[in-house]
A and B are shown apart, each in its own frame.
Chain A
Amino acid sequence: MLYIPCPYCGLRNETEFHYGAEAGVGYPDPNTLTDDEWAKYIHIRANPKGWLAERWVHFAGCSRWFNLWRNTVTHEIGPAYLPFTEQPKAPSNIGQEEQKA
């Protein structure tokens, strides 16, 4: 069970949240994209071994979406931050690999 720091409600159990995969994927203009670019936007999300900036929604609390750094190898939790705000730096990557896989 992860303990996840909701920026609005504080530290809560993982079971109060839903997962939203990679954070910071902007909505593109569908009229200007090729099929391949559209497929990439729809289907491809970062899947790194190490730190990942990802989206979570606190459905059992404030119901709001936020972003979180989390390590996919150690399950360490990094800083949480709000969408459309400046992304904090990734926590130290010691011993980790392939940041952007």
Chain B
Amino acid sequence: MTNTNQILTPGTIGRRRAAIIPEQPPQLWKSVKPKKAYDIVIVGGGGHGLATAYYLAKNHGLTNIAVVEKGWLAGGNAARNTTIIRSNYLWDESASIYEHSLKLWETLEEDLGYEMFFSQRGVLTLAHSVSDVRSKRRNLYANALNGIDSEWLTPQEVKKLVPIINISEDVRYPVHGATYQPRGGIAKHDWVAWGYAKAASDLGVDIIQGTEVTGFDIRNNKVQGVHTSQGTIATGKVGLVAAGHSSILANLAGFSIPIQSRPLQALVSPLLEQVLNTVVMSGAVHVYVSQAHKGELVMGAGTDAFNSYAQRGGFHVVEHQLAAALELFPIFSRAQVLRTWGGIVDIAPDASPIIGLTPVENLFINAGWGTGGFKATPGSGWVMAHTMANGTPHKLNKPFALDRFATGHLIDEHGAAGVAH
């Protein structure tokens, strides 16, 4: 009993664990007013937009760049995701881009000179039925062919890794095994965005917050500038990196993209003693959970069924997810929900991103990361920067072109990987 009581007294845990999180300097990036003109304007100051600006500056020597953000920096999905990082995707195209991203994660803190609490604590993806086991093992072989670390664990091995998990057969979704990617893990999401912002700002990129893009100056099908709430900014190239608002921006530029915007919810518990030192995901029961550095359990739910821009979802979605989580982790019944929230995710028909050229010349798009974009932040920025600097896609994002919906070369991770990303 005393042990259980200790687990549920967050006050002392919070004070103890807060000490491991270093203080931030008073200012990480310069706050600036927009200039009249830039070589490149990035629309969207989330992780992906900031990473794009950073790699444009670092890899391609282009620094006359503005990142224009409607709200505050990294206040959208960059602050709302569940921070899971992995690369064990089924299809070659996805595995290649996510693995490129994971490799960048592995040296990112050194590269940016900024701590992000990147922690390769491993990611478990549970299988709950015979067909689940088959598809997960198929995934495993595909990963092996792509040189991605991933292994099969029996229920007993899962239990050894995660002692609090219930592997009883007498539950609605029994654990029949799991794939495990040891190099997967988590990072502190807002710090990732701040790290990119600081590094980009240090290289001369202007970060402009509180400025909404209201339209585009397009002449002869070529982008010449962006209209914003702070006036028009002339520019030679524009990158749309706006997640849930991508279809609104595409429409302002005169073309349509196959994106539906949906709420995706997540929640945290108060600070608890460490009970979980790996990431556990289950596509079948719509739950993914990890324990953050300070001790809070971070859990993600499924998307709400309908289109929305409200950054909130229905409580029944959270309830459904918690029911599954409690069955897998009975000990969680003693914890409380501290906070739930929603973000607006941009979902493409094949649940894969759209990165590349658009029908408008010099206007580029990076959207459709849907429910799983956080892990891709470095790789996404890297290939987007390459695409914008050269005017042609990097080999890693070539398959993710907007025209795949007309050619039929879809990258169907939805059907292949289940809903959870």
Contact = CB atoms under 8 A, between A and B. Distances in A.
Interface string A18-41: 110100000000000001101110
B310 A72 contact: yes
Contact of A47 (B261, B315, B316, B349): B261
Contacts of B315: 1
Interface string B313-339: 011100000000000000000000000
Contact of B349 (A2, A36, A43, A48): A43
B256 A70 contact: no
B181 interface: no
B305 interface: yes
Interface string B196-236: 00000000000000000000000000000000000000000
A44 B256 contact: yes
B247 A47 contact: yes
A62 interface: no
Given A44-B256, A47-B260, A39 B406 contact: yes
Contact of B405 (A43, A45, A47, A54): A43
Interface in B350-367: none
A44 B255 CA distance: 11
Contacts of B247: 47, 101
Interface residues of B, number: 23
B314 A14 contact: yes
Contact of B305 (A18, A42, A49, A101): A18
Given A54-B306, A72-B310, A1 B316 contact: yes
Given A43-B258, A47-B259, A1 B314 contact: yes
A52 B257 CA distance: 17
A14 B317 CA distance: 11
Nearest to A73: B309
B360 to A, nearest CB: 15
Interface of A: 1-2, 14-15, 17-19, 21, 35-36, 38-40, 42-45, 47-49, 52, 54, 70, 72-75, 98, 100-101
17 contacts: A2-B306, A2-B314, A14-B305, A15-B316, A21-B307, A40-B256, A43-B405, A47-B248, A47-B307, A49-B248, A54-B306, A54-B307, A70-B306, A72-B307, A75-B310, A98-B248, A101-B248
Interface of B: 245, 247-248, 251, 256-261, 305-310, 314-316, 349, 405-407
